Amino acid sequence: MTALLNSAPAALSATSRALTTAEKSAVGDFYRENGYYVANELLSLDEVEALRAETVRICAGDVGKVGGTVPRAAGESDDDVLRRVLCIHFPHKISDVMLDAVKHPAVADLLTAMVSPNVKCMQSMLFIKAAGKPGQAWHQDEDYIPTRDRSLVGAWIAMDDATLDNGCLWIIPGSQKRGILWPQEWHGDRRFDCALESQNFPYGPEDEIPVEVKAGSVVFFNGYTLHRSLPNTRTSGYRRALVNHYMSAESFLPWFWPGQGEAKVGVAQLDVRDIVMVAGVDPYAYKGTREIFHSHVRPDGKGGCVTGDGEMEYVK
pLDDT in tens, 170-211: 999 999 999 999 999 998 888 998 889 999 999 999 999 999
Question: What is the percent of the chain with per-residue pLDDT over 70, rounded to a whole number?
Answer: 89
Distances from the Cα of 311 to the Cαs of 16, 184, 194, in angstroms? 51, 14, 12
pLDDT surpasses 50 at 11: no
* pLDDT of the residue at 7: 47
**Does residue 88 sit within a domain?**
yes
pLDDT tens figures, 71-107: 888 889 999 999 988 899 999 999 999 999 999 999 9
Assess if residue 91 is contained within a domain. yes
Question: CA 147 to CA 119: how far, in whole Å?
Answer: 13
| CA 74 and chain centroid, separation | 32
Per-residue pLDDT for 220 more than 80? yes
Contact at 8 Å (CB) between 302 and 316? no
Please give the model's pTM, rounded to 2 decimal places: 0.91
Q: What pLDDT score does 200 carry?
A: 96
For residue 110, the domain's CATH number is 2.60.120.620
d(CA 29, CA 74): 53
Amino acid identity, residue 145?
Answer: I
* Residue 310 is assigned to a structural domain of this protein: no
The 10s digit of each residue's pLDDT in 147-172 is: 999 999 999 999 999 999 999 999 99
Number of domains in the chain: 1
Whether 50 is covered by a domain: the verdict is yes
Q: What's the whole-number mean pLDDT along residues 265-276?
A: 92
Q: Is 234 among the domain residues?
A: yes
CA distances from 258 to 196, 255, 272 (A): 25, 10, 9
CA dihedral 188, 193, 199, 203 (to 10 degrees): -120
Is residue 313 a part of any domain in this protein?
Answer: no
In this predicted structure, the answer to whether residue 5 has a pLDDT above a threshold of 80 is: no
Query: Is 315's pLDDT higher than 70?
Result: no
Whether residue 314 lies inside any domain: the answer is: no
Which of 2-11, 43-52, 69-78, 131-140 shows the lowest per-residue confidence on average (mean pLDDT)? 2-11
In this predicted structure, the answer to whether residue 314 has a pLDDT above a threshold of 60 is no
End-to-end Cα, the chain, rounded Å: 39
Q: Is the dihedral of CA 55, 56, 58, 62 positive or negative?
A: negative
302 in any annotated domain: no
pLDDT of residue 241: 97
pLDDT value at position 14? 44
**Average predicted confidence (pLDDT) for the chain:** 90
Query: Which residues does residue 245 pair with via DSSP β-bridges, in sequence order?
Result: 123, 154
Tens of pLDDT, residue by residue over 229-269, are 999 999 999 999 999 999 999 999 999 887 777 788 888 89
| Sign of the alpha-carbon torsion through 230, 298, 157, 289 | positive
Give the domain extent around 203.
Answer: 2-297
